[in-house]
Structure 1
Amino acid sequence: MNAYKILVVTAVTAEAEAIRPGLDSDLIVVGAVGVGPAAAAAGTARLLATGNYRAVISAGIAGGFPGRAPVGGTVLATRSIAADLGAETPDGFLPVEELGFGSSVLECDPALVKALSEALPAALVGDVLTLSTVTGTQATADRLAARFPQAVAEAMEGYGVASAALGAGVPFAELRTISNPVGPRDRAAWRLADAFAALRAAAPALTTLL
């Protein structure tokens, strides 16, 4: 058996606790590192430094873009994109690439995406956006949907986890389940139970990566 482990990173403990019961191998380590890309990057880097890992998966719940990813659904990222990394200008948003300061787009490992897609055939595949501020208006949702036509979901940690994985030379993927539509903030309408049920159901697919 390959001694190298898989690291699954979540933002909060509730997400980690939804994933752990579906795993039957001590070669998959699940850790909650905090909310937002900075906490995700720092926490993932810390965990990567504690052992030998063959892959890193950012996992948890997310908002889904209406018409692209339904509430209760599961999505897999092809790319994790820092959608608010850049500069605001009178003519619109400039991504960090246009400022000459790096890239806001990190590719997920194709082999990991393929394996997870085969294990989760109903999962939707597309870009997952990382935002430090959760979308709460229709205007912002519309702008993001227009800027990122392949985006299926938004969350707050994927790009941070991906950055740490890239720095460590470890393949990365992102798996999300949908609790709410991206758009006007209506916390009472979020279907957290459905998203956590989907996360529990998706967890066994992670063992196919071993």
Structure 2
Amino acid sequence: MLTKRDLLRCAAMAALVAATAKSTPVLAQNKAEWPSLLEAKDIAEEGFIYGLPLVMNYAVMQEFAVDRNSGQFKAPFNEINNMHQVASPADTAVITPNSDTPYSILWLDLRAEPMVISVPTVEKERYYSVQLIDGNTYNFGYIGSRTTGSEPGSYLVVGPDWKGEKPDGIKQVFTSSTPFVFANFRTQLIDAEDMANVEKVQTGYKAQPLSAFLKQPAPPAA
């Protein structure tokens, strides 16, 4: 099993390799122009800082959607897992999760085709959101009460290579820079007696391939 420790070790090694690679052309010209120990350390540190978010994001994907024995597995790619409880200390894949917005977890694989996320009507008093995070850890889109409103709708999430027009029935298209996307749903829990109402909202969250939404044959799997 690939652990977070393994991934962090790989990130550190990659940073050191990058530092060495950066200095090699200089060495070929003049050994005197080698970076100093402190300069090499700074280069490696910059590489580590740049790469760490990507590696940790991959680690979350590995635990949530790939490794069924991780202890944190939620659902396979392109399937929503609605959590009918607030986060607890047992939820360790993501640091400091919210405790007042039960999560619905969805990892998208956009290699074969785009995915459609549909949301129900949500009462205006209740906050909800769908945070779209690409593999570079950038938030490239939001669906929810503060951005798209509380009305029902369907939204298309596409990968970097997708080319096409916005289909009928789709309110908005969100384009990711990577083919894997973390769609992180949050639904406000008003009080301890409100969980049943949260679950009703969660049942309205849907994810389906574009081909299924359009009732067309599916393309070959990635």
TM over 0.5: no
For the pair shown, which has the larger CA radius of gyration, 1 or 2? Answer: 2
Q: TM-score, normalised by structure 1?
A: 0.32
Bigger strand fraction? 1
The alignment's TM-score, normalised by the length of structure 2, stands at: 0.31
